[in-house]
């Protein structure tokens, strides 16, 4: 039998650990594939929309992730209405696709403002713009970036399910559920 390059993929507990190890790595390593997951949510009329984001926090014990965003962006309005999100990462080196389903909370106010203040100098451009993100403008540069704590929001994702697909000599796919205390089950890939 062909030896597996990633032996962790053959064990449910190790596979689950590997997913979180890589998510946590994405928070501090700008070059990690988990640094820039794709975040999807639905519009009020049920249409999926996906976008690239930066992963800002990942906590295995609470099963939570954080993303920073602009309070005025359409994703915030849509997530307030339908607080479910999906996150996707393809980690090519690990031959691992990570798909997460999560409930989403939007954090603003003093706690978020304190984090925003700590970001100044790091990524002040990211949050606060006039007009709001997604608004129509006459010319490409007819907008101003206005760093503003009132526009800063943290999306806190409470992961509910993890779907991990590993492409190896034998493909393996597993699902991990919060409701099952993250006990994994194998799925046909």
Ligand X SMILES: Cc1cc2nc3c(=O)[nH]c(=O)nc-3n(C[C@H](O)[C@H](O)[C@H](O)COP(=O)(O)O)c2cc1C
Q: Minimum distance from CB of 153 to ligand X (Å)?
A: 9
Is residue 20 involved in binding ligand X (CB under 6 A)? no
Enumerate residues 6+ apart whose C-beta is below 8 A from 10: 4, 172
Count, residues near ligand X per rule CB under 6 A: 15
The reply to whether 36 sits near ligand X by the rule CB under 6 A is: yes
Q: Does 162 bind ligand X (CB under 6 A)?
A: no
Name the minimum Å distance from CB 175 to ligand X: 27
- Distance of CA 23 to CAs 36, 57, 69, 70, 159, Å? 10, 9, 19, 22, 12
Positions 61 through 80 that interact with ligand X (CB under 6 A):
67-70, 73-75
| Terminal-to-terminal C-alpha distance of the chain | 19
CB closer to ligand X out of 36 and 175: 36
Among 28, 134, 142, 189, binds ligand X (CB under 6 A): 134
Which listed residue (40, 54, 105, 167) binds ligand X by CB under 6 A?
54
- Angstrom distance (rounded) from CA 17 to CA 8: 9
- Following CA atoms 51, 157, 85, 125 in sequence, which dihedral angle do they give, to the nearest 10 degrees? -20
Q: Which of 51, 81, 145, 171 binds ligand X (CB under 6 A)?
A: 51
Contacting positions for ligand X (CB under 6 A): 36, 49, 51-54, 67-70, 73-75, 133-134
């Amino acid at each position: 039998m062909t030896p597996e390059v990633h032996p962790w993929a053959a064990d449910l507990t190790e596979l689950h650990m590997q997913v979180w190890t890589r998510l946590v790595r994405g928070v501090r390593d700008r070059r990690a594939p988990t640094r820039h997951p794709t975040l999807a949510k639905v519009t009020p009329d049920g249409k999926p929309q996906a976008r690239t984001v930066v992963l800002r926090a990942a906590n295995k014990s609470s099963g939570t992730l954080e993303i920073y965003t602009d309070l005025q962006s359409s994703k915030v309005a849509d997530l307030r209405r339908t607080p479910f999100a999906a996150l996707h990462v393809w980690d090519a080196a690990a031959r691992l696709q990570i798909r997460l389903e999560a409930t989403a909370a939007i954090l603003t106010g003093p706690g978020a403002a304190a984090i925003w203040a700590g970001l100044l100098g790091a990524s002040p451009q990211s949050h606060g713009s006039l007009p709001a993100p997604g608004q129509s403008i006459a010319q490409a540069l007819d907008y101003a970036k206005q760093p503003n704590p009132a526009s800063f929001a943290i999306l806190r994702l409470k992961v509910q399910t993890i779907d991990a697909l590993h492409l190896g000599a034998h493909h393996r796919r597993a699902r991990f559920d919060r409701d099952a205390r993250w006990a994994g089950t194998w799925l046909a890939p």
